[in-house]
Chain A
Amino acid sequence: MKTADLLADDPIWLIIIKVVGIFVYLVVFTLFMIWLERRVVGRMQHRPGPNRVGPFGLLQSLADGLKLAFKEDIRPVLADKWVFFLAPVVSAVPALLAFSVIPLGGEVTMFGERTALQLADLPVGLLVVLACSSLGVYGIVLAGWASGSPYPLLGALRSAAQVISYEIAMGLSIVAVVMYSGSMSTSDIVLAQKDNWFFYLLPLSFLIYLVSMVGETNRAPFDLAEAESELVGGFHTEYSSLKFALFFLAEYINMVTVSGLATTMFFGGWYAPWRFLPFGLGEVWAGADTGWWPLLWFTLKTLGFLFLFIWLRGTLPRFRYDQFMKLGWKVLVPVSLVWILGVTAVRVMQREELSTTFKLVAVLIGVTVIVLISFLIPDRPERDTTIVRTAGSDYPLPPPDLRVPAAPKRRLAAAATAKLPSATKEDGDV
């Protein structure tokens, strides 16, 4: 039975239950995610992270959230009253809305009613997510504009340009998936990945989606809209209290949504994590894809992507704006276009009953073209490292081959600590 038909006869109480369930799922995920991020980044920086409130500090984000709600709500004098109020709402609502089309699981029975773990299944499910993400940007852009101060405005301008650029790459990365699954409906895409997951069938699409999903959600290393070292807080500089909390919520829900979409499109959605293995290994546990188990698999896969977000934030420095734009327009978009062409060619060759010679010739031509184009790419001029550089002015120039001298033995320190017997052993290591 198709998911759309399963969902079509949902009674209204079931829809309400699902809506509430998804809302809770997202909010809990957000609270957990904030905690996880602080813990993981802390671990990456050799510090414990929050570990006092609740077991392992799990309740830290709840406490922070409560505190945030009771803070003073400030509106700058120059702010545009209504738009300033509207912006956080506009940012949060589409974020929540987008998750309604993500399939969390297959067919289940809830209170005697057969249904699917998904709120809505549209024939254009993927477009719903794209539309919501494009609406969510309004929140950021309007927030920056309505604050009536320069830093938020700069953040908003950056964000507008950023999202438009990366939405193109994201949309293009989806095309190949749609071509392979023959549908834009999210549930059909999951079903199409019963035996083969798209992340290895369409590796380039997956990579491009991965990059653009970070760009879409304004996360490090692409968090130029709120770059704290350049723009104070970017678009939310002037926000406080609950309005700020809404932005925060929207950002994390967006992360969950794009991760969920990545799972749906490339990692087999709610199928068990070993489902794509060959030689019958995928079917070792037949019951894994039925009932409520898929919810667990989906959540685990999504968590994997969320960990990636944290990992990126802990590792990479922020991009410069022009580099960022260059990556989007000069790398991701052209590569996607060429990749789509290639995928289409392969699809056509599979479909049509073509002779092997024809296919071979076609592949040969393709390879030749790629090689010829690669000749056209100019080499980066090699740096001549032998030249000794001198200053062109009267200012003193540090030696270009400056090498940091080895640290001298800490005689004084050693002498000072010599009095303590316990320290003498470590002295030799310094």
Chain B
Amino acid sequence: MSSVFVTQAVVDAGPVSMGEQVAFYVLGTGSLIGALGMLFARNAVHSALWLVLTMLNLGVLYMVGQAPFLGFVQIIVYTGAIMMLFLFVLMMVGRESSDSVVEVLRGQRLAAGVIGLGFAGLLVAALVRSLTQVKPIGLAQPNAQGGGNVANVGKLIFTDYLFAFELTSALLITAAIGAMVLAFNEKRRRPAYAKSLQQELVEARFQGNRPSPLPGPGVFATANSVATPALLPDGSVAPESLSEVIESTARERLDPDLLPEPDAHALTAPEQREGES
């Protein structure tokens, strides 16, 4: 569908053709709906999806504006990579996480709304006024010269904007280091499997203290949290059943002073026990 638009746009010689106008109104409306949807969606993933819609529309808008390279790069980079990472993070955080709607500063939402709308109104009014004075030029002529759109973009990057382009690498390196600094934990023990062969793993396990897997947590015995420790037959806690990763593991349960005396009733639910006594 998009390709038809593009072909159309390239063929039309005039600055703004009828087809282009129709495309603009369709895509513009689409991107506006996407932007508003992003603002008002309660669910974070829905918000992200609305934003994807906006970006797609913008991408196609660029193609209609005779910049096919920019349009497709917009789709690949923004929708394909950046929004995908957004979604990745949102899904990691969990599907129940939606925005807190509590106002921390009273009246802030109202003020932000009024000022935001005012700013948008001002900008739109200014742009509308200025656009009547601006003559559209279009990219048809530069696209016809040299090696076409892609080659011309490349040429500009490596001549006029060479320094800006090279400087971007500093930005990318910084971003990469930043990610490493904030996320990479050297102190964490490397998992044994990361480097070893299957045979070495087997041998290591048999030479260690425990060839069998660690006991699972006490899920479903008294609670359905993995932080619940498994209980040994005498009712005491099996420390190996607790995950090292979950730090919030009920520490008080392991505290010897607070531990229940071993008794057979430990496995039943607390309220039941109280009822009996």
Contacts and interface: CB of A to CB of B under 8 A. Distances in A.
User: A and B: direct contact (Cβ < 8 Å)?
Assistant: yes
A71 B2 CA distance: 34
A182 interface: yes
Interface residues of B, number: 44
Interface stretch (A126-134, A194-202, A246-254, A271-279): A126-134
A400 B203 contact: yes
B45 to A, nearest CB: 6
The 6 closest A-B pairs by CB, nearest first: A134-B80, A120-B3, A127-B72, A131-B75, A392-B207, A160-B88
A347 interface: no
Given A120-B3, A124-B68, A392-B209, A8 B84 contact: no
Given A135-B79, A157-B88, A124 B150 contact: yes
Contacts of A182: 147
Interface of A: 7-8, 15, 80, 83, 97, 100-101, 119-120, 122-124, 127-128, 130-131, 134-135, 137-138, 141-142, 144-145, 148, 153, 156-157, 160-161, 163-164, 167, 182-184, 320, 322, 383, 389-393, 395, 397-398, 400
Contacts, number: 122
A333 to B, nearest CB: 12
Contacts of A183: 147, 150
B107 interface: no
22 contacts: A8-B11, A122-B7, A123-B68, A127-B72, A127-B76, A131-B75, A131-B80, A134-B75, A135-B56, A135-B75, A135-B79, A137-B80, A137-B84, A144-B91, A157-B88, A160-B85, A167-B81, A183-B147, A183-B150, A392-B206, A392-B207, A392-B209
Given A141-B84, A145-B45, A153-B91, A122 B209 contact: no
A156 B91 contact: yes
A393 B69 contact: no
B150 A123 contact: yes
- Main secondary structure on B side of the interface with A: helix
Nearest to A141: B87
A118 to B, nearest CB: 10
- Main secondary structure on A side of the interface with B: helix
A320 B197 CA distance: 12
B207 A164 contact: no
Interface in B141-172: 147-150
Contact of A101 (B3, B46, B194): B3
A398 B211 CA distance: 12
A7 B208 CA distance: 70
